[in-house]
Amino acid sequence: MSLLRAESTLAQDNPLDMLEELVSANEWHYQRSGDEEMVVELRGQWCEYRMFFAWQADLGALYFSCLYDLEVPKSRRAAFVELLSIMNERLWLGHFDLCSEEMAPMFRHTIPLRGTLGAVPEQLEDLLETAVIECERFFPAFHFLIKDNQKPQEAVEAALLDPIGEA
């Protein structure tokens, strides 16, 4: 069986150039290690996030990951994997994973841009906004599982509890 073949139409512009402008406008700390990679550091409500962007021109794809400043202990990794499964079912964009090098939670997503004229600012804004919102929303679940030894389902339920009324 052969794979579907078509002429490659790659996105023309490097989306990291546009992303660099967006990050600079928000006064976030970043480092560009070349044309294909960029790291952004951002302080969230719960922890520090390290965002990594990689542009693969030959694939016409922008890879993104957002790493938490939180380590998953070996004793909680099986429960953590179960927690990821429950959380990922609730996402429309991207997914959560465990970084094998740092044993830390991370949010990941790839934007395919082949056949387009390139990324538009709104796509990159949506990517960043969605990642930060989801990372902030699910941080308590990670904390409840890792620090409070809650079961995965309990951790998600506690994290996503919607308070009623005003304090």
Q: Residue 159: its pLDDT value, please?
A: 86
**Domain containing 138: what range?**
15-159
Answer whether residue 64 is part of any domain: yes
pLDDT at 165 over 70: no
Q: pLDDT at position 109, please?
A: 94
Report the CATH number that the domain containing residue 20 is assigned in CATH.
3.30.1460.70
Q: Which residues pair with 111 in a beta bridge?
A: 62
Domain presence at residue 1: no
Average pLDDT over residues 53-78: 93
Other Cβ atoms within 10 Å of 145 Cβ, number:
24
pLDDT at 99 over 60: yes
Q: Sorting pLDDT into bands at 50, 70 and 90, what band is 13?
A: confident
What does the alpha-carbon distance between residue 138 and residue 49 come to, in Å, rounded to a whole number? 13
Backbone angles phi, psi at 39, to 5 degrees: -120, 135
Residue 9 lies in a domain: no
Domain count, the chain: 1
Rounded to the nearest integer, the mean pLDDT of the chain is: 87
Mean pLDDT value of segment 67-96 = 93
pLDDT above 60 (res 1): no
DSSP label of 61 = E
Residue 8 lies in a domain: no
